[in-house]
Each structure stands twice: as structure tokens, then as C-alpha cells.
Amino acid sequence: MKNVGTSSPASEGSGATGPGQVAQPGAHGERRTRHSVARLLLERGPITAAAVAEELGLSPAAVRRHLDVLVAEGEAYTRESSPRGRRGRGRPAKQFLLTEVGRARFGHAYDDLAVAALRFIAEHDGEQAVREFAERRMAALVANHRETLAAARTPAERTEALADALTREGYAASTRSVGSGEQLCQHHCPVAHVAADFPQLCEAETAAFAEVLGTHVQRLATIANGDAACTTHVPTARFAGPGGDRPGTAPTPAGPLPKGRQHTAPIPDGGESV
């Protein structure tokens, strides 16, 4: 396969080398080329497949194959080129652009920015200001789903409703029944890197769960602390319902937690940032 940036076209997958070409192993070479195609969409998009092929010195067929994969995986999308500047009466060429998912492969500085912002708040207004921010953030998240949560009657239904709400917010949550209640597992945390420096985010989240579920809950594990999932135990023996305050007790988890009832709404692009 031809190196990106060389001037003469080359067909992918042949393994042959020539002037300006370097042989690359199949799977590794495919990933490198697809990354180069995606980077060109990032830097030059919207751009046509023909322009990508010309810029990278690849065959149009090879470029279209990589673009099709990027579109199928949700990393790119297409739109018709603008009528302005078009020549002839033919069908307008498709232009390719990256989605937010596609942009994410090149990284973001959102976490660093969020940590810096919260550190600034802590230095100038104190730790209590960070805590108030975390509480307000969770209150806003819960408010979006309060009606649905209130409609659930049993503890299991209420915990499942909370898992559904968290999944829609990007937390990929599931639930499972245990001897003394329900366990709520969040398999993704959009703010895990920030929460590692500011545990107030996890504390506010736990308090919000207790408030909407109407019972004491116990956080057993968090992604921010290096665990595989954020796991919260929801006791049901003395469940008081939303707004209640009757405490329950939680067991110590034994071994890894299997994924239980899954709540499979897609994770929003990029998730939520603090």
C-alpha cells in the first residue's frame, strides 16, 4: 500500500512496493489508511471522495471503501455538494464530513478543561462551591426524567427507570436483583476522568439517586476509582418510595458483577461534559 502523501496512485492490499511506497501489513495498514482518510475529513471537510483519493494518492475505490466504513460506524456522514461552483448538469457529488464520534478519535481537551475549571472554582470559592456545582448538575440531570421515575411503583421498577434515564444520559446502565435489593451498574461514565480529581461529582450522584429512589443507597464501586463499573446498591426491604428517608443496608459485593438487565439506548456522541 502506498504511503499517505505520495503523488502517484497505488492500489491497497497488494503488498507491493515501489518508488515512494512502503509495504504495510494488511490490518495495520488498513487502520493507518482509514485514520489518514478521517484526518483529511477533519482538516478539509466537507470533501469529496475524489478529492480524498487525489490528496492521499490512493485509488478512488480504496478511498470509497474506507469512507463507507466510516459512515457505517457513525464516524462520518455525507451531504450533497453546494450548487454553487458545480460544473455541468450531472448528479452533485457527495461530500464527506466527520460526526462528533469521528472527531473523538482525534481526542478532546474537554476533561482537562473541566478539571482546570473546577480547580479554579475550588481555589477561588472553596470546596463547597465545587460541591454545589456537582449537586446542581445532578439535579438538572434528574429533573429531565423525574416524571418517568415517579410513575414507577415498585423498587425494582424504580431502579430500572433510573437505569433507563441514566442510559439516555450516556451512562450505559443496567440493573440486577440481589438478595436484599437491586444493584444499579453504570458501565460508562462520561465524567470519570474529572471525577477522579473531584469526588464531589460521585458524591452528588449518589445523593441524587437516594433522593429520587426514596431510600438510602450505597455506592460499592466507581469507574473514577479504577473499577470496571459504577455500582450502587439499592435496598428494598424498607423502601419508602420517592422522597422517603428510610434507610436500608447494603451487602459487600462478592466478586465481579455480571451485567444484568441491559438498558441499551445508544450513548450520545461524546457523552456529557462537565
Same domain, 50 and 185: no
Residue 164 in domain = yes
Res 197: pLDDT: 94
Res 258: pLDDT: 39
Q: Which helix (H) or strand (E) holds 232?
A: strand 230-235
Contact between 104 and 124 (Cβ < 8 Å) = no
Same domain, 100 and 123: no
Strand, coil or helix: 58: strand
Q: Which of 104, 133, 154 is the last residue of a domain?
A: 104
Res 182: pLDDT: 94
Same domain, 94 and 42: yes
Per-residue pLDDT of the chain (274 residues; tens, 9 = 90+): 333 333 333 444 444 333 334 334 477 788 899 999 998 998 887 899 999 999 999 999 999 999 999 999 999 999 887 655 455 565 678 899 988 888 877 876 788 899 999 999 999 999 999 999 999 999 999 998 988 898 988 888 999 999 999 998 989 899 999 888 999 999 989 898 899 999 999 999 999 999 999 899 999 999 999 888 999 999 986 554 454 444 333 333 333 333 444 444 443 344 443 3
Q: Which of 104, 125, 154 is the last residue of a domain?
A: 104
- CA angle 137/141/145 to nearest 5° reads 160
Contact between 224 and 134 (Cβ < 8 Å) = no
Residue 80 in domain = yes
Q: CATH number for the domain including 194?
A: 3.30.1380
Q: Which of 76, 104, 132 is the last residue of a domain?
A: 104
Residue 165 in domain = yes
Same domain, 95 and 127: no
Is the link from the previous residue into 242 a cis peptide, with omega within 30 of 0?
no
Measured distance CA(9)–CA(75) in Å, rounded:
25
How many domains, in total, are found in the chain?
2
Residue 201 in domain = yes
Same domain, 119 and 202: yes
Residue 12 in domain = no
What is the C-alpha end-to-end distance of the chain, expressed in Å? 42
Q: Where are the alpha helices (DSSP H) in the chain?
A: 26-44, 49-56, 60-72, 100-104, 110-125, 127-143, 146-151, 155-168, 192-197, 200-213
What is the value of pTM for the model shown? 0.57
Q: Which three cell numbers stand for residue 213?
A: 429512589
Q: What range defines the domain where residue 225 resides?
A: 110-262
As to burial, measured by CB atoms within 10 angstroms (0-12 exposed, 13-18 middle, 19+ buried), residue 181 is buried
Same domain, 190 and 116: yes
Measured distance CA(265)–CA(164) in Å, rounded:
8
Res 28: pLDDT: 78
Measured distance CA(34)–CA(251) in Å, rounded:
48
Same domain, 150 and 94: no
